[in-house]
């Protein structure tokens, strides 16, 4: 919940200008919903995709204040972030609610970026694996293999978001590998290798390279550093191995 309309447009314009220098990665921007149309006009027809930060699971109806998946498609969105740590831990959104949204997003052709991650207390208690599996199972219940390959997963260690802390490359890779194993066991190896798993947790241009060099980290979900185009593009420039 940052910037104003002019600032959101200016940021998108700067990212579009720099996108040709990082054409080896897929880029998407996810502004607040009130700026989706303005930013969408800037990125339309460019390599930069548009995404939303959240949505409701119903296509229409008496749900005042909510935004439907069809509305997002109408605005040109390709992606939608679901189950972000702030939605889960600040606004008390459950995995069951996230699951409804995942199915609704897929139904209209949106790519859901589904976030999972543990609190500091859960990591210190040795519960990371249990929390990740519980959130995965609840948020991604009932998906066929064909649907699963259309989903992006983002691992967000909650203790490393907005704190300046970042998981070590080993800690991040361990959880990403666990997520890959969960997918492999539920579906098969082909599906597991097809699903993109992103890391999100105080990512910047300095730590992005080592993180992206890990075998199971396919990209990053950028937070505060995405508010400055040079920092965001600097992170993207570190992703040269993605897709290779």
Residues assigned a catalytic role: 84, 156
Of the candidates 157, 131, 68, 159, the one whose C-alpha atom is nearest the C-alpha of residue 105 is 68
3-state helix vs strand vs coil in the chain, percent to 5:
50, 10, 40
* Both structure tokens of 57: 């699971």
Distance (Å) of CA 188 to CA 148, 151, 200: 11, 15, 25
Q: Judge whether 166 and 207 are in contact, CB under 8 Å.
A: yes
Of the candidates 230, 234, 233, 163, the one whose C-alpha atom is nearest the C-alpha of residue 200 is 163
* Both structure tokens of 144: 């066929």
Kind and range of the H or E run holding 41: helix 36-43
Q: Which residues pair with 154 in a beta bridge?
A: 115, 198
Q: Judge whether 2 and 225 are in contact, CB under 8 Å.
A: no
């Amino acid at each position: 919940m940052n910037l104003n309309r002019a600032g959101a447009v200016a940021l998108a314009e700067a990212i579009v200008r720099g996108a040709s220098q990082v054409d080896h990665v897929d880029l998407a921007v996810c502004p607040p919903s009130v700026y989706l149309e303005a930013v969408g006009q800037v990125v339309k027809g460019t390599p930069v995709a548009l995404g939303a930060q959240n949505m409701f699971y119903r296509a229409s109806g008496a749900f005042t204040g909510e935004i439907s998946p069809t509305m997002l498609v109408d605005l040109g969105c390709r992606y939608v972030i679901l189950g972000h740590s702030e939605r889960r831990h600040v606004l008390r959104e459950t995995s069951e609610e996230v699951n409804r949204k995942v199915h609704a997003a897929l139904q209209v052709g949106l790519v859901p970026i589904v976030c999972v991650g543990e609190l500091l207390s859960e990591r210190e208690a040795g519960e990371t694996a249990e929390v990740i599996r519980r959130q995965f199972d609840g948020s991604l219940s009932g998906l066929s293999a064909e649907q699963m390959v259309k989903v992006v997963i983002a691992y967000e260690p909650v203790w490393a978001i907005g704190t300046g802390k970042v998981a070590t490359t080993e800690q991040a890779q361990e959880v990403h590998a666990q997520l890959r194993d969960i997918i492999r066991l539920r579906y098969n190896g082909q599906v597991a290798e097809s699903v993109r798993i992103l890391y999100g947790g105080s990512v910047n241009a300095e730590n992005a390279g080592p993180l992206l060099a890990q075998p199971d980290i396919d990209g990053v979900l950028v937070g505060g550093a995405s508010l400055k185009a040079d920092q965001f593009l600097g992170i993207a420039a570190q992703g040269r191995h993605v897709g290779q």
